[in-house]
Amino acid sequence: MDSLTQLVLVLLAATGFGFWFKRSRGEFRRKKTLNGPKLSPAAIGCELGSRVTMVQFSSAFCSPCRATQALLEDMVKTLPDVRYSHIDAESQLELVRELDIRSTPTTLFLNRDGVEVGRAFGTPKRSQVMHALNAIH
């Protein structure tokens, strides 16, 4: 394969990945079975919401994390049955491993019992967060 073909193929593959990646950010990925651990207030650093708790994992090396935090903190102000907790992944590695958090920001959506219903990767749009919240009863 000549180098121009190589280059074109590499860039095409990267472009495809890039579009897919962008589109998948913020998407609420629902778990098929609610078989995760019951997370306690002590584990996540806040009381559980009466309907939903959003737990965002961040790291120092992550500017989208700040945008996510700003959005979610703002949204919970008007949602009395939803709580938000923010966790620095590096300082909670055991939890990170237990929940298999691989990138930041990752936002977990817990039901009233503290069990994960689904999660979202990357900075979500407001509508994506509302969609996730509305799916949890």
Partner 1 sequence: MINIDARGPRFSAVITTVVLAIALLTSNIWVIAFQTAVFAIGALRGPQFTPYAFIFKKVVKPRLKSDPVLEDVRPLRFAQTVGLGFALVATIGAASGATGVFTVATAFALVAAFLNAAFNFCLGCQMYLLLVRATSK
Q: Are 85 and 5 in contact (CB under 8 A)?
A: no
Q: Does 50 engage in binding with partner 1 (CB under 8 A)?
A: no
Give the interface segment with partner 1, choosing from 27-35, 76-84, 86-94, 129-137 (CB under 8 A). Answer: 86-94
**Residue 68 burial by Cβ neighbours in a 10 Å radius (0-12, 13-18, 19+):** buried
Least distance (Å) from partner 1 to the CB of residue 27?
16
Does 61 contact partner 1 by CB under 8 A? Answer: yes
Q: Which of 30, 48, 23 is nearest to 38 (CA)?
A: 48
Contact call for residues 96 and 57 (beta carbons, < 8 A): yes
CB-based contact 85:44 (threshold 8 Å)? yes
CB atoms within 10 A of CB 95: 18
Beta carbon nearer to partner 1, 43 or 65:
65
- Candidates 44, 48, 99, 105; binder of partner 1 (CB under 8 A) is 105
Residue 74: in which H helix or E strand, if any?
helix 63-76
> 103 or 134: whose CB is closer to partner 1?
103
Q: Which is nearer to partner 1, 18 or 41 (CB)?
A: 18
Q: How many CA atoms lie within 13 A of 18 on its CB side?
A: 6
Which residues 4-43 are close enough to bind partner 1 by CB under 8 A?
A: 4, 6-7, 10-11, 13-15, 17-19, 21-22
| Beta carbon nearer to partner 1, 97 or 137 | 97
Positions in the binding site for partner 1 (CB under 8 A): 3-4, 6-7, 10-11, 13-15, 17-19, 21-22, 59-65, 89-90, 93, 96-97, 101-105, 122
